[in-house]
Structures are given as structure tokens and as C-alpha cells.
Amino acid sequence: MERSVYSIYFTKKAKKEAVDFLVAELETNKWKELFINIENGVDFFTPAEQLLLIKKDLDNLRAGDKDSIIPGHPEAELYPGKSILRRFISSELIEEHYSLHDREDLDKLRASWLRNKVNIINQPLKMLDEYFGIELGLYFSFVETYARALVALVLVIFANMALDLNPMLTSVLVIAWSFCFILVWRRSQVDRAYKKGILNTVERGWEEARPEHFGKLSRNEITGKQEPAYEPFNQKLRILASYCATALCCYASYLIMEYYYSWEKYAYAEYGINSYTAMLPGIVYTVIVIITSQKYRQFARKLTNFENHRTESSFQKNLLVKLLVFEFINNFLVLYLLAFIYEDLEMLRSTVITTMTISQVFVEIFEGVVPFAFYKSRTKNKKKSFADLSEQADYEKNRDEYEGHFDEYLEIWIQFGYVVLFTSIYEYAPLCALLATIIEIRNDAHKFLNLFKRPESRIAESIGFWDDAFSLLAFLAIPTQIGLGKMMGLTTWKKAAIAEHLVIFLAVAVNRLRPCPAETQKQIDRDEYFRTHRHESNLLKKVQENKHD
């Protein structure tokens, strides 16, 4: 296995008489005291672990007490204990820094992932973990679990349709499926984290300040070090202004939805609901929803940056709230109004079919086809064989930057919403979601292997706040599905109310189940026992030594 390397490009401002390109490689000697059996050198670590350690070393390059500026750049001040790499970036002395792909590993992944035409849902998760890192591997594992769950739901619903059973049973099955999927994923997530050795070890403790965080330099009360601190009252004002802007965006989305409804009603009355012309408003509205969603995601990130959050977890949480509220209004509010305000089930079904199918087609085009076309145009005259790492790095500069998995989870969340909220109206929604997920798996393989720069390796034991987001939709599905059942004349309000309370009770019970497989729990308890026993033995040994002294 070749060494994983990290490339750094300097800007013209920083070059002067220095080199314009550097490569960082992993030095294993410094890790010998921390790892057992590290004698094999760099091969002891997976490619993703190598990159994680390289990035850790780069981040740990800190300014000393006597370091005041970056040599040759008096405007780039250094502060004791602060990251030198971050200062290079904020001072615009570094143009780009990213991990280089391993060409041999890429070919192996293409063979087992991209060219796999038989098991189209199965993904080489072990290889993906080792190459891209545990956090990104967690996303791939989630998509695979979701696809398997959709296969089960499609089979159950088709069986229900074939046997011509009570349509209300479809609603019950979808609700049960949503909570079972979440429970299965949580158990899989815990089992995975334990086997990776990261259970209850990450996403805890002290968080470093984000590079984008700014404020007056002052002494941190926790660390005792100098770092930027922003006035809490001023930050609250920024957050208030940011959420007011979010509210305006949501209101604009609502107005667009009202115009769509008026246009759609006119088209149905003028041309008939089965006319192709009557489908035009729905298609146009779906395209507008996709475009506004993409633009708002960029705007939401700017708003959340404007709020000046100190930690990455606080930033991600506030960004998630903005995105989920807007995306719910943008994608689902019109469907709720059609169902429960206008009580137009015919238009509701037509809108669900149009928005779900058209949006999936456009999303896959924007994610796969368009970036591929741009990439091909950028690399048309570039040679694909490299004499050294600098040539490879120069070629990979043409690849797109991977902006994180936020949008990936968001798209699945929207798709999950269509399935759990409106399957009783459109029975083929799970099948559409399954086909879209299979295409997404193939699209991901193409993007990550052929279009993206190598993502930064990170560690994550869970999907974090997204678990709550999916659970929220699952709970919302209960009153939605039962309410639609009443609107469709499949039940009475009395029976609907009783069913709703019963299902909510069962859903809460399932949601509170401990998400840990029995065998994994035994291993955790065994580890805890030996850890406690060893700690007690060490304490007893120290007490005895003190007595002898």
C-alpha cells in the first residue's frame, strides 16, 4: 500500500522565493509509544487513518510564545498556541490543501463499487471506511440500510395491494416500518461504533473554536489561553436577525406555493385533470422548489456563519434547524394544505406524484450529469498519467471539492418524508424512493471516485442530529396518515382518534428501546468489568505501596 499524502498549494502572495507546492506524509516513529505492533510502519494504519494523523499533525503546528508573525508577512500575526495552518489560510497564503487520491485504491473501489452490477444495494463498506474514513463510511452504511428497508416496505405494500386488503392497513404498515427502520439503524450504528472502537469516545468533551469564529482576543476561562471571544448579547442579536431572514424565506416559499395552487386549479378546470397541459404547473413548481432549495442552502450557511458560533457542533445544529424548517415548508406544506385545508385529494395525489418523481430526476441530473460534464471540459487536454505527485496534485485540482454530507442526508430526509407521510395517497412512493436510492448509490460511487477531490478523513460514531430529524418525520406520520385515512373515508374520527393514541403510545415505546444488540451489550459490559477491575487493582496496589512507605 502506498503512503497517503496531503497536498498544500501556496498562493502567489506567499510564493516569493519559496516553493509553491508541498506534500505532507505520515511519520510513524512518533506514534510508536501509543500503538502496539506498529513495527510495520505506515501499513499499520488504513489510508483514511494516515490522512487523519497527517491532518492532526498539521493542525497541531502551533505558534510558540516567541512567534509573532509569519516570516515575510508582517500583516499575518500569530498568537501563542494557535494553529499556524489556519493562520496561513485566513491570511490567504494557502490557495488549496487537500488529500491526494491513491490511484491503486481507486481502481479497486471502482471494481467492487462502481462496476458492481449484481448487488446494486450492497456497498464495500469496509473498503470505504478504510479509504474515505469512518464518518463518510457511516453515511454509506446509512444509505445501504435505508435501501434495504425500502425493499422490505415495497414487498409488504405490494402484497397488501395484491391481496386487496383494507387500504388503511398501508398507513399502519408505513408507520410501523418508519420506527422499525430507525430502531434497526440505531442498533446497527451502535454495533458499528463498538467494532470500530469509537463508541462513546467522540463528540464529547472540549471543542476547539471554529476557524471562522471571530471576536476580541481574550483569555479563555476554561483553557487559560488567548482566543477570540464574541459578546454573547451581540451574538444573540445576530442569531435573531438570522432567523428573521429565515422566516422571510419561508414566507416567500409559502407565497410561491399559493400561486402554484391558483395556477393548478385553473389548469385543472380549463384542461381537465388528466390533460398533459394540466401537469405543467406541477412541473414548473417542482423545478422552482429544487432551485430555491439549492439557493437557500447556500444562503443558510452564510446566515449561520453570520451568527458567529464558536463550536462546530453549535454551527451544525443551527444550520440543521434552518434547513429542516425551510425544506419542510418548501416540499411538504403545499401537500398538507391540499389535504387538510382545501380537502382536494385528487390534486394532492397528482402533486405528490409530480413533485416526487420530477424532483428525483432533476436532483440526480444536477448531482451527477452536470458536474461530470464540467469536469470533462476542465480535464479534456490533461494527461491522466503522472510522473510525480506534483503532476497528480495539479490534475486533481480540477476535481470538485466535496462540501460535506449535509446535502446528502437532507435529500434522503426529504425522500423519507414523502414515503412516511403520503404513501396512503400514492402507493408507489416507496418504489419511487427505492429506485431513486439505488440511483443515488450508483451516483455516489461515480462522484466520489471520479469527480470529487478526496474528502477529509473524519471520525463519527453516529449521524447525530439527523437521527432526531428522521424520528420527527416518523412521529409526524402518525396524525398525517390517520388524518388522510379519515379524509379518504377509510375510518371515522372516533376510530381515528383511538388509533392515533394507540400508535403514538407504541411508537414512543419503540423509540425508547435501547439501541444496542444483545451480543454487543455483552461485549461492552465485559470491557467495562475488566476496566473497573483493573482500576480497582491499581488503586489497591498504590494503597499497599503507600503503607510500606
Write down which residue in 99, 126, 155 finishes a domain: 99
306: Cβ–Cβ under 8 A, 6 or more apart, which residues? 238, 241, 242
Tens-digit pLDDT profile for residues 198-252: 777 665 556 777 777 778 877 777 777 777 788 889 999 999 999 999 999 999 9
Residue type, 166: N
Domain count, the chain: 3
Distance of alpha carbon 490 from alpha carbon 506, whole angstroms: 22
In a shared domain, residues 228 and 288: yes
The domain of 83 spans 5-99
Residue type, 22: L
Q: Report how far apart, in Å, the C-alpha atoms of 12 and of each of 22, 23, 262, 392, 535 are.
A: 14, 18, 56, 20, 56
More confident residue, 405 or 549: 405
Q: What share of the chain is helix, strand, coil (3-state, %, to 5)?
A: 65, 5, 25
The whole-model pTM stands at: 0.86
More confident residue, 422 or 521: 422
Q: Report how far apart, in Å, the C-alpha atoms of 174 and of each of 89, 407, 418, 438, 488 are.
A: 49, 25, 11, 20, 17
Structural domain contains residue 106:
no
At 1, the pLDDT band (50, 70, 90 cuts) reads very low
Structural domain contains residue 440:
yes
In the chain, % of residues over pLDDT 70: 81
Tens-digit pLDDT profile for residues 250-296: 999 999 999 998 898 888 888 877 777 888 888 898 889 889 998 99
At 193, the pLDDT band (50, 70, 90 cuts) reads confident
Tens-digit pLDDT profile for residues 18-30: 445 556 565 555 6
Which pLDDT value is given to residue 255?
94
Which pLDDT value is given to residue 505?
72
Residue type, 464: G
Over residues 163-181, the mean pLDDT reads 86
Structural domain contains residue 104:
no
In a shared domain, residues 149 and 189: yes
Over residues 84-105, the mean pLDDT reads 79
In a shared domain, residues 11 and 136: no
Distance of alpha carbon 162 from alpha carbon 459, whole angstroms: 45
User: What is the helix (H) or strand (E) element at residue 289, kind and residue range?
Assistant: helix 280-306
Write down which residue in 64, 99, 134 finishes a domain: 99
Write down which residue in 99, 122, 141 finishes a domain: 99
In a shared domain, residues 524 and 503: no
Residue 17 clears pLDDT 50, i.e. is over it: no
Q: Report how far apart, in Å, the C-alpha atoms of 35 and of each of 27, 59, 215 are.
A: 14, 21, 39
Residue 549 clears pLDDT 90, i.e. is over it: no
Q: Worst-scoring range by mean pLDDT, 134-143, 355-364, 511-520, 531-540?
A: 531-540
Distance of alpha carbon 97 from alpha carbon 88, whole angstroms: 11
First-to-last CA distance in the chain?
A: 53
Q: Are 487 and 339 in contact (CB under 8 A)?
A: yes
In a shared domain, residues 159 and 289: yes
Tens-digit pLDDT profile for residues 34-69: 565 665 555 677 888 888 888 887 777 777 777 777
More confident residue, 513 or 358: 358
Positive or negative CA dihedral for 109, 110, 112, 118? positive
